[in-house]
Amino acid sequence: MLWSVYATDSEVVRDAVVEQALSQGAVELFTSLHTPETPDSAGWVRWMRRVHRIHGARFWTDVSPAGLARLSPTGAGAPDAAGAVGPGVLAGLDLAGAGVVGLRLDYGYDVEGMRAVAAATGLPIALNASTVSAAQLDALAGVEGLVGWHNFYPRPGTGLSADYYVRQSRLFTERGLRLLAFVPGEVTRRAPLYRGLPTLEEHRHRDAYTSAVRLRDLVGGVEVVCAEGVVVPRHLEWIRRAERGVLTLPVSLAPGCDWLEGTWRLRTEETGRSHRLEGTRGRALPGALANADAMEVGSLQMDTLGRYSGEVHLMTASAPLDGEHLRVGEVAAPYRCLVGLLRGGREVRLVAV
């Protein structure tokens, strides 16, 4: 997981982001050198240089032709109509000294302008994966270090749909290119609207953990970036586990069923109704436990029938009561959206909350 930090963040938020990123061994941060709200772009570069020198942090930064021109010590070498950047704009910026290891090119660049920036800086180039076309990608073939980096969307109602996100992402994954996308932060919100900064609109009011898992389920191999502030510690731990292939499910458990806490492998077979937890068959039945009106999606149901007695089912669809199962727990409501992402053979980690 990566983090982002902006000049519009308070000093407290900046320090928290850097501390959390470095605590996870992350050294790459995302930032911007062209947001209109940035009061002092040159001062921001000095901050980046200091953090790079002290902590070894490296930066991918959003840039625009106008933003680079503002950063030029002389203001010379303004970009031309194609978005190409003259030597005067890049001279004296000392991007390497500020820890910049890649540039994300968005507004104001055409294909020739992107090639010009790549040639002038020698840095990898990230394209806006939310808007780039297949034709543009093909025209940039041969440029070293191309990366796809999705947008985040401050205005509610403007984030991407899941289908569109998948289609755009495939432009990069099918070419074997690195791909990154954003999830909103959890502790603080960022300017300009303070309404969350998701890539997918459906994530705007969700937690970073479920959003990160959803991004990776839709597009395998995508790298997740926290768009604002930091992630609460438990969610950060769960995201790291998910990246290693183990999905954490917070659950409430019935009395006497604490033994269900821990990591379980789901049986390979998929029924469309439930996943069975390997190694639970033969467990002693707890006392009589009241069930709900149905064996609801997200509930943990223990089999009581003959040789299958003790086996625990994690319900992936609701089913009528059959009198042959005991309800022994359920996935906590904020995380129940993850149940539909489970596949046979996957490891899940049940954590009591």
Q: Token pair for residue 114?
A: 């992107």
Mean of the per-residue pLDDT values for the chain? 91
Q: pLDDT digit string (tens) for 9-67?
A: 999 999 999 999 999 987 899 999 887 777 777 889 999 999 999 999 999 999 887 76
CB of 246 within 8 A of CB of 349?
Answer: yes
Instruction: Give the DSSP letter string of 267-320.
Output: PS---SSEEEBTT-TTPPP-S-----SEE-TTEEEEE-SGGGTT-EEEESS-EE
Inform me whether the pLDDT recorded for 88 exceeds 50: no
Q: Does 183 score more than 80 pLDDT?
A: yes
**Pairing of β 58-63 and β 319-320:** unpaired
pLDDT of residue 71: 66
Classify 61 as helix, strand or coil.
strand
Question: Tens of pLDDT along 139-159?
Answer: 999 998 999 999 999 999 999
Structure tokens given for 309 = 């007695």
Which of these, 206, 223, 221, lies nearest to 336 by C-alpha position?
A: 206
What pTM did the predictor assign? 0.91
254 and 329 Cβ atoms separated by less than 8 Å: yes
